[in-house]
Structures are given as C-alpha cells and as structure tokens.
Amino acid sequence: MEPETILIRGSRIVDPSRQLDRVGDLLLGGGEILAAGRLGRDRVPDGCRVINGAGLVASPGFIDLHCHLREPGFEYKETIAAGSRAGAKGGFTTLCCMPNTDPPIDNAAVVDFIHQRARHDSLVRILPIGCVTKGRKGHELAEMEELASAGVVAFSDDGDPVYDANLMRLALTYSSDLGLAISNHCQDRSLSCNGVMAEGSVATHLGLAGIPAAAEEAMIARDIALAEATGGRLHVAHLSTAGSVPLVREAKQRGLSVTAEVCPHHLTITDQWVLGDKGEPNTVAGGRAYDTSTKVYPPLRAQRDVDALIEGLADGTIDCIATDHAPHDLTSKQVTYEDAAFGISVLETALGSLLQLVHSRKLSMGAMVDRLTTGPARVLGESYADLASMQSGSPADIVLFDPSQEWTVDTSEFESKGRNTPLEGSVLKGRVVATFASGRLVYQGPELKIEEPQASP
Ligand code: NCD
C-alpha cells in the first residue's frame, strides 16, 4: 500500500502543536503533510483523491504511550497485527507496547523481533517499551543501555511495579543519561494485597476485597522523592486517584522531570459499574454486578476521583491520555471476579469515551487532542515532536473523526482480539472516519466518501 496524494477539504483542523483550531484543507502526499490551510482549486495536484471533510475534525494521529499488544507469547489475547488494526480504527497512529510479553522485552533480540513483526504486520508505528528489570522480576536491572540502543522508547515493568526502591533509584539515575522515561505502574502490593476493585462502599456491598488509594499514592510519592534525588525522568502510568493528582502537580511545580498519564475509563466510569449500575451516559445495555469486564488495574474508582482526574487533565498536570489497552481472551474473564484477569480492551472505544468530556464541556476539543498527541510526544522526547504536528513536512499521521456520530459499542465488530470491555452495548458519540499512517489510508469507516480524480480532458 503506497502513500497517496489526498486532499481533505474543509475539515476542522485541530493541531495543538501550533495552537491551531480552524476550518481548512489538508494535502497529503509522499507520506508527508504537504500543506495545511486554505487551498484554492489550482493547488490541487492532478490525480489527487479528494475527501469532503465538512463536519469532521482532522488532527494528528493519536499516540498511545501505554498498550499491551501481547506479542510475543500471548498471541491468543492479541497480536501486533490485530492490535494495530484496532489502533488504526481508534485513530491511533503510534502505539507504544508494554513489555509484559513472554519472553518479556528485556533484551535487544526481543526488541528486534517486535520491530521486525511491526514492519511486516502493523498498519501503524509500533514503539516498544523495554523492561526496567530482567524478566520483569524486580531483582536486577535489565541492560537498559542495550535496550536503548535497540530502540526502546521508555522503560517499564508494567503489570508490576518496580517494587525495590533502590532499583527504581538506579533506573531513574540511568534514565536521564539515556534520555528515556521510567514509566512506573505504581502499586504498593503490601497495601493492595489481594484487592480486586477500589476500596469503598461498593466493594463492601459486593463483598470484594478493596484496593486502597494509598497503594497508588504511596508509590507515586516514593517515586517523586527518587526522581528528585536522582534528577531522573519519571513517568507515572495510569493515574487513578484524586490524591495522586496533587502529588504530580506539586512535583511539577518544584521543577522535577515528572509526567503522568490517565486512561479513558478512569475519566469516564466509576466503581458503580462493578455493581451493575452504569447510569449515564447513554447506556442501553442493562448492567450486571460482578461483570469481570469492569476489572482493571488500577481499579475503577469513585466519582470524586474521576472529577479530580478530569481537572488534572484539563489544567495540564496530567500530560497525556494513554489507553492501557489490555486485551484478554474469553477464558481469562469468564471466571469469578476474584479470578478474572485485570484489563480492558480500549483502543476502539477511547475516542468515543473521551468525547463525552468534550460534549459535556469538561475538556476542550483542543485539550483532548493535545493530551492524545503533543502530550505523549513530549514524554517520548524531542525527536518525536513531528508525529504530533500538522506542519508541512511532518509525517502524514492523521485522524479524521466525526465528533457527533452516535454508535453502539458492539464487540463482535472489534478488530482487537480482546472483547473485554464494560462498554459493550453503550452508545458513544464520536467516531473515527479515517486514519492515515505515513500517508497510507489504514482505516476507512463506511461513511468515508472519497472522490476519485477527474480524468484529464
Ligand atoms: C494489564 C495487562 O493486562 O497487561 N492489565 C490492566 O488491568 N491494566 C497489566 C496491569 O497493568 O495490571
């Protein structure tokens, strides 16, 4: 599939890298953005296909700093091929995949394998994240320099925290030399114990073991102290509690190199969903208690947590939205709540979920796009800035979406192998219409109309 020359006419161009939000045209060619702005008919090259972008938003393709593509080792849950199709359908043109694979991404050979697989199978850019510790076992540091040379874009033992504070301290020390962040899954296991959902009245009502907010906050506080001591680059993965937000806010105010991400589900749904009470918005399917698709780490929390996370996202304390797309096979979820795997399949519902915040005016369209593009690009580093820009010369990684199209989540239509989402049957407002990765049309919704070039007279 070659990159083609495409003109997208009259869409709302939202490019937070240049504080741009206005109606205009976009010309893509040779895999790059050739022009963005008002283009007269005479500027349309011969043989160019044209998309009518009226009513659609065009923005840089989304960058996901945190997803699980499960390859190598768990291809029955997801593959790079299926995950990339899910990403493209969700508007993501860059996916950073976590290393809790089998074998884990803790040496250059596994990084090379992922790069090779991505070259053959993926529709979008795949950037691997390397382990902090060998085998993700938490006992000794992985060869971070080898991993960096092989091309990892960050380090994480995600799925598990870097529990040993001294190893975290060393990893943070190396992170500044390597110029790559340490993304920590903050969970103090001596506090979370055997918890399966958020601690609180819902957990008590259901008789399920709760995970206290302090399990997250204690480790974030520790990591901030270590980032301060070492000058290292800390990225806090999947923030979920109201108390985590001021910790990150204050660290930033002190000038520390601390960034943070939040997931769509933690911004839009609460632990009431574990009870089966899905409430608003727009739920058509009746909920049921103990639905294992609501089991995720960190757990769904209370409305006050959701409100604080939205506030932190809106004011820039939280740099980016990451999906934590965690696809699972049916048997990992068709068990009791206690035994079910943690994780939600998110790539294909992320935009529709997040637009609820825009429609309800809790977040501006510009801020939402910023946190899905320039925010994550900043965490990746300077050399990734053009992935989040629509300036001419940037790679033509573009998403075109209809913010007002309503649709019902039907997991049988998912590209992802993971059908594990509590949003099954929910009505979302806003959907991707087309995704271009390096100028190639990698996803095309049924409503996309492309005018073929006029034959020359
Ligand atoms: C993740 C997974 O399935 O890999 N699950 C999740 O609920 N986020 C791992 C993890 O972060 O626990």
Is 291 one of the annotated active-site residues of the chain?
Answer: no
Report how far residue 182's alpha carbon sits from residue 28's, in angstroms, rounded to the nearest whole number: 35
Tell me the percentage of the chain whose pLDDT exceeds 70. 97
Strand partners, 181: 154
Nearest to 68 by CA among 151, 144, 136, 158: 158
Q: Which atom of ligand 1 is nearest to the CA of 237?
A: 11
- Candidates 74, 129, 158: which one to mutate for ligand 1, based on the most atoms within 8 Å of Cβ? 158
Compute the distance from residue 297 Cα to the ligand 1 centre, in Å. Answer: 6
Domains belonging to the chain, first-starting first, are 61-391+405-425 (3.20.20.140)
pLDDT value, residue 455: 55
Q: Which atom of ligand 1 is nearest to the CA of 296?
A: 7
**Tens of pLDDT, residues 403-453:** 999 999 999 999 999 999 999 999 999 999 999 999 999 999 999 989 887
The answer to whether residues 132 and 155 touch, using CB atoms and an 8 Å cutoff, is yes
Report how far residue 175's alpha carbon sits from residue 311's, in angstroms, rounded to the nearest whole number: 29
Please give the radius of gyration of the chain, using alpha carbons only, rounded to the nearest integer. 21
The answer to whether residues 442 and 31 touch, using CB atoms and an 8 Å cutoff, is no
Nearest CA to ligand 1 atom 11: 159
**Tens of pLDDT, residues 53-110:** 999 999 999 999 999 999 999 999 999 999 999 999 999 999 999 999 999 999 999 9
> Which is catalytic among the residues 64, 223, 271, 324?
324
**Tens of pLDDT, residues 184-229:** 999 999 999 999 999 999 999 999 999 999 999 999 999 999 999 9
Q: Which atom of ligand 1 is nearest to the CA of 342?
A: 7
**Residue 191, CA distances (Å) to 166, 211, 212, 264 in order:** 19, 7, 7, 25
Angle at 128 between CA 125 and CA 130, to 5 degrees: 170
Indicate yes or no: pTM above 0.75: yes
The mean pLDDT of the chain is 95
- Helix axis angle for 213-230 and 165-178, nearest 10°, is 50
Phi-psi map region of 61: left, alpha, beta (phi>0 left; psi -120 to 50 alpha)? beta
pLDDT value, residue 457: 47
Strand partners, 75: none
